[in-house]
């Protein structure tokens, strides 16, 4: 999932903020108990998400794709004292683990964990968001983007994960999943309503600012 070698990754970790004990616990537990643990954001990307959130100081955050809650807690670090983070996921099997992680966090009361199909549960949220993180089923990146765009304030930030897809987006011959990623990237590149750039962090973060 990482686009850089292990030695450079260790160097980057040496010069960024450490993980909290809770985040370390979530990382360990995810790797021990959950299928496809590589979906976890991890230390370096988590610090990037935290940093961006703190720069924005959002009152309202939306996350689409909770997984085991690691990125959720990183994003929550930037919330204002009266802020709320809504995180949407469809995986009922992870509910107890995720709620347990949130319960140990200082941000528990500010997190609204909603289970169900995000294309439906989004309709129940009457909010304008300062920050959105999309990290769910990649084939629906464009759908989620269109659904949330009008609910993001001008100047708000949308972050989309895995947009470099382990470098497969460079290939001329692309499988269906890679084509979906490439099509989404092309969609953002031609959207003149936003400013945008891809950060080569882990598997690629598309950072998109609404004008």
Per-residue pLDDT of the chain (211 residues; tens, 9 = 90+): 567 788 998 999 999 999 999 999 999 999 999 999 999 999 999 999 999 999 999 999 999 999 999 999 999 999 999 999 999 999 999 999 999 999 999 999 999 999 999 999 999 999 999 999 999 999 999 999 999 999 999 999 999 999 999 889 999 889 999 999 999 999 999 999 999 999 999 999 999 999 9
What's the rounded Cα separation, in Å, for the pair 60 and 39? 24
Fold of 6-210: Rossmann fold (3.40.50)
What's the rounded Cα separation, in Å, for the pair 48 and 67? 18
Domain boundaries, the chain: 6-210
Model pLDDT for residues 52-105, shown as the tens digit of each residue: 999 999 999 999 999 999 999 999 999 999 999 999 999 999 999 999 999 999
């Amino acid at each position: 999932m990482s686009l850089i070698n292990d030695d450079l990754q260790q160097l980057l970790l040496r010069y960024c903020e450490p993980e909290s004990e809770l985040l370390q616990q979530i990382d360990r537990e995810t790797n021990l108990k959950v299928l496809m643990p590589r979906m976890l954001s991890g230390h370096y990307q988590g610090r990037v998400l935290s940093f961006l959130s703190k720069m924005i100081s959002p009152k309202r955050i939306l996350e689409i794709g909770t997984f085991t809650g690691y990125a959720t807690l990183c994003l929550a670090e930037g919330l204002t004292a009266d802020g709320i983070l809504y995180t949407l996921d469809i995986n009922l099997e992870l509910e107890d683990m995720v709620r347990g992680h949130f319960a140990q966090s200082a941000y528990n009361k500010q997190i609204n964990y909603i289970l169900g199909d995000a294309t439906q549960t989004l309709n129940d949220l009457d909010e304008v968001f300062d920050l959105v993180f999309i990290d769910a089923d990649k084939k629906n990146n464009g759908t989620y983007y269109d659904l949330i765009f009008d609910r993001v304030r001008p100047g708000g930030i949308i972050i989309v994960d895995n947009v470099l897809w382990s470098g497969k987006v460079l290939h001329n011959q692309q499988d269906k999943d890679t084509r979906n990623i490439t099509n989404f990237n092309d969609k953002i590149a031609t959207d003149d309503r936003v400013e945008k750039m891809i950060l080569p962090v882990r598997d690629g973060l598309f950072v998109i600012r609404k004008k």
